[in-house]
Amino acid sequence: MADCTFCGRPVEAHDPLYLSETPGGEPTSQFCNYGCLSAHVDAADLATGSACEWSPEQ
Ligand SMILES: [Zn+2]
């Protein structure tokens, strides 16, 4: 049984998503659904500075 990294509810009760540091590796965090994943990213400010540097303007 894994608890959602964001809300702490069991992810198996929903439509779970798993994140891993390495492809095919052990999950390091899991979320009920995209809503919890998105909320966690916003709350932790994970999107800031994490985008690749490619820009269509250049
Ligand atoms: Zn959740």
pLDDT, tens digit (0-9, with 9 covering 90-100), for 3-34? 999 999 999 988 899 989 888 888 899 999 99
How would DSSP label each residue in 6-44? TT-SBGGGS--EEEESSTTS-EEEEESSHHHHHHHHHHH
- Give domain limits for the chain: 11-44
Q: Are 36 and 4 in contact (CB under 8 A)?
A: yes
How many whole angstroms from 36 Cα to the centroid of ligand 1? Answer: 5
Distance (Å) from CA 47 to ligand 1 centroid: 18
Radius of gyration, CA atoms only, the chain: 14
pTM above the 0.85 mark?
no
* pLDDT for res 23: 85
Q: Is the pLDDT of residue 57 over 90?
A: no
Q: What is the whole-number distance in angstroms between the Cα of residue 42 and the centre of ligand 1? A: 14
